[in-house]
């Protein structure tokens, strides 16, 4: 999968399908035209041959339509759904390829909206809306052009009237889009209230005096009701007006033609009648444009959303292979999150020799996690650089970089797949024995064997039978299997799991052994053996050194150390 910087196409081959649908529309519109023609012919001649020719001509159009419709619609559907899958794949690849920070900034809800609902509308657009527009336009054009040829007054006035209707629609569509957006924004606030009342009902039930005692929920519902009604009053007249203009333009055309009809011949009267038939037929496809234009608008919104996602630049990848040494060097690294003014990290410089253990500590928001994310290139530093083995990480191929770092996140992220395959993510080529060895080292092997299907058990099927600590150990097994020279532990020990506390510690010790280790930690007692403790404060390094050195040099560290000891001794409900 290459770099996708533009909207993946639904396939240019769709044009053939569209042409098919257009010809089908022309044939469908040709039916009344043909009938009209034979009506006219039958006027002065024997009806029998006219009827026969009529059968032949109409049957001919039906056969042609049968021949056209099948391949055209097959092609359109195949392209629509094939294109939908291609587009989802492209979005997924793009999400994985963009900096994680950018991905987080977009938000999961918006991403899901794009890959599910928006693409559904685009599929619908390709398989239904677009061909329908083409087909309806063809029927409309044939009927109206036919009417003009048969009796210009009828045809031209109908064209004039319907053109006004369609112009009204395209004008209204833009106005509608703006109006809908404005309404959606004003209602978002109300629906937020409603949602929170639903999601926070546990809190409300624990505290409030009774069901919706202060009427917040009911008021929000009323505001939604009013807003919806205001929207209807704005939109409905336009929809009705459109239909009225279309129907009235046919009726008026007929009336005008009859009104201006002088003392012409019998044949002329028949021609006028036929033109009347044609303009009435034209109203059927014309009316359909109301709903089609609404769907067009939804597809336009969908396309804009998808395009916005795909416009996020990907993390540029370097060309160099994996470095030979794994000492890590932060050189004057500064970074500010997009949209914030205060820097997340400022002038961070430290060096971690290969095989050392480095611990980052500091308060919430001091930049610990961001600092480690920069090493994994989840973000790009604004200034300064990070070197591994003397090589700027931006010059290292992103696949190569990902193979030398094994992170364990605070959140135990597992696929809803088998346990074996979840561990194997660490090294897809690993044998069953290697997977098992990793699980054993992570102190999870026995637990896995306890499940009926062992390593073949699906994680999702276990649900609550899998504790947080057990999930975390599976993630650690995955990292062990990866066998990367650099290990990052982001609060990996914070999973609360009393009966497994010790097992997690064993697993982490197995993972850490012999590697360059970076740890984000709070329980200071467990990391006193670190080669270097980096104390961050507001994005800057406040102090750095070994536990013993910091106890001497840093008053902040001394305070944290005292507090940490107190926390360990905490006894609940004891004042």
Site for other proteins in 157-186 (CB under 8 A): none
Q: Exactly one of 13, 181, 229, 308 binds other proteins (CB under 8 A); which one?
A: 229
From residue 533 to residue 572, the character string flagging contacts with other proteins as x (rule: CB under 8 A) and all else as - is ------------------------------x--xxxxxxx
- The length of the chain is 575
Residues 288-347 that bind other proteins (CB under 8 A): 288
Beta bridge mates, 536? 362, 541
Q: Exactly one of 183, 243, 385, 540 binds other proteins (CB under 8 A); which one?
A: 243
- In degrees and rounded to multiples of 5, residue 537 shows phi and psi of -145, 115
Q: What is the Cα–Cα distance from 75 to 16, expressed in whole angstroms? A: 8
Strands of 516-520's sheet, edge to edge?
Answer: 405-408, 486-490, 516-520, 357-362, 532-537, 540-545
Which range, of 174-182, 194-202, 339-347, 433-441, touches other proteins by CB under 8 A?
194-202
Closer to other proteins by Cβ: residue 183 or 383: 183
Closer to other proteins by Cβ: residue 208 or 311: 208
Strands 345-352 and 328-335: antiparallel
Residues 97-126 that bind other proteins (CB under 8 A): 100, 103, 108, 111-112, 115-116, 120
Residue 224 in the binding site for other proteins (CB under 8 A)? yes
Q: What is the Cα–Cα distance from 537 to 539, expressed in whole angstroms? A: 5
CB atoms inside a 10 Å sphere around CB 33: 23
Residues 506-535 that bind other proteins (CB under 8 A): 508-509, 512-517, 519, 521-523, 525-530
Residues 3-62 that bind other proteins (CB under 8 A): 28, 31-32, 34-35, 38-39, 42-43, 47-48, 50-52, 54-55, 58-59, 61-62
Which burial class, exposed, middle or buried, applies to 432 when counting CB atoms under 10 A from its CB (0-12, 13-18, 19+)?
exposed
Which range, of 15-23, 273-281, 300-308, 332-340, touches other proteins by CB under 8 A?
273-281
Q: Exactly one of 394, 468, 538, 543 binds other proteins (CB under 8 A); which one?
A: 468
Q: Which two tokens stand for residue 438?
A: 């990793």
Q: Exactly one of 4, 16, 82, 380 binds other proteins (CB under 8 A); which one?
A: 82
Choose among 345, 358, 352: nearest CA to 387.
352
Closer to other proteins by Cβ: residue 56 or 332: 56
Residue 217 in the binding site for other proteins (CB under 8 A)? yes
Burial 54-63 (b: 16+ CB within 10 A, else e): beebbeebee
Closer to other proteins by Cβ: residue 267 or 304: 267
Q: How far is the CB of 89 from other proteins (least distance, A)?
A: 7
Q: How far is the CB of 403 from other proteins (least distance, A)?
A: 6
Q: Exactly one of 150, 254, 386, 474 binds other proteins (CB under 8 A); which one?
A: 254
Q: What is the Cα–Cα distance from 207 to 478, expressed in whole angstroms? A: 44
Strands 486-490 and 516-520: parallel
Q: How far is the CB of 59 from other proteins (least distance, A)?
A: 7
Q: What is the Cα–Cα distance from 393 to 399, expressed in whole angstroms? A: 11
């Amino acid at each position: 999968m290459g770099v996708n910087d533009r909207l993946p196409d639904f396939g240019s081959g769709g044009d053939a399908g569209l042409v098919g649908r257009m010809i089908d529309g022309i044939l469908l519109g040709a039916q009344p035209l043909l009938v009209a023609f034979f009506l006219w012919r039958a006027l002065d001649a024997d009806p029998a041959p006219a009827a026969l020719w009529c059968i032949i001509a109409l049957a001919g159009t039906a056969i042609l339509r049968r021949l056209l419709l099948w391949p055209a619609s097959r092609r359109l559907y195949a392209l629509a759904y094939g294109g939908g899958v291609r587009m989802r794949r492209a979005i997924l690849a793009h999400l994985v390829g963009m900096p994680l920070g950018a991905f987080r900034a977009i938000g999961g809800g918006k991403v899901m909206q794009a890959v599910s609902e928006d693409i559904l509308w685009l599929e619908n657009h390709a398989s239904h809306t677009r061909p329908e527009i083409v087909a309806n336009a063809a029927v409309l054009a044939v009927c109206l052009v036919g009417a003009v040829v048969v009796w210009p007054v009828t045809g031209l006035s109908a064209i004039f009237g319907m053109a006004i209707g369609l112009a009204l629609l395209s004008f209204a569509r833009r106005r509608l889009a703006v109006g809908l957006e404005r309404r959606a924004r004003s209602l978002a606030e109300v629906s937020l209230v409603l949602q929170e009342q639903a999601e926070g009902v546990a809190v409300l039930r624990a505290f409030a005096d009774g069901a919706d005692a202060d009427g917040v929920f009911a008021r929000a519902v009323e505001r939604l009701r009013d807003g919806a009604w205001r929207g209807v009053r704005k939109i409905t007249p336009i929809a009705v007006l459109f239909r009225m203009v279309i129907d009235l333009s046919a009726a008026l055309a007929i009336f005008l033609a009859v009104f201006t009809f002088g003392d012409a011949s019998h044949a002329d009267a028949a021609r006028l009648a036929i033109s009347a038939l044609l303009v009435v037929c034209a109203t059927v496809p014309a009316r359909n444009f109301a709903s089609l234009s609404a769907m067009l608008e939804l597809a336009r919104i969908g396309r804009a959303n998808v395009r916005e996602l795909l416009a996020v630049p990907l993390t540029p990848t370097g060309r160099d292979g994996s470095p030979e040494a794994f000492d890590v060097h932060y050189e004057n690294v500064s970074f500010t999150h997009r949209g914030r003014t205060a820097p997340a990290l400022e002038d961070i410089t430290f060096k971690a020799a290969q095989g050392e253990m480095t611990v980052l500590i500091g308060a919430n928001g001091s930049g610990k996690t961001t600092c480690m994310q920069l090493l994994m290139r989840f973000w790009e530093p604004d200034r300064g650089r990070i070197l591994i083995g003397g090589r700027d990480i931006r010059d290292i191929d992103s696949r190569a970089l990902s193979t030398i770092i094994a992170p364990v996140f605070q959140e135990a992220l597992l696929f809803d797949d088998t346990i074996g395959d979840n561990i194997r993510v660490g090294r897809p080529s690993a044998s069953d024995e290697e997977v098992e060895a990793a699980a054993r080292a992570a102190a999870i092997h026995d637990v896995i064997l306890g499940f009926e299907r062992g390593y073949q058990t699906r994680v999702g099927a276990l649900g609550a039978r899998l504790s947080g600590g057990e999930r975390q150990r599976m993630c650690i097994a995955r990292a062990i299997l990866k066998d990367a020279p650099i290990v990052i532990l982001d609060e990996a020990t914070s999973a609360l799991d009393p009966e497994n506390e010790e097992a997690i510690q064993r697993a982490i010790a197995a993972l850490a052994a012999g590697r360059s280790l970076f740890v984000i930690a709070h329980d200071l007692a467990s990391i006193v053996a670190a080669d270097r403790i980096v104390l961050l404060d507001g994005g800057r390094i406040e102090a750095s050194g070994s536990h013993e050195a910091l106890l001497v040099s840093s008053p902040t560290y001394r305070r944290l150390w005292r507090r940490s000891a107190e926390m360990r001794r905490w006894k609940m409900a004891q004042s």
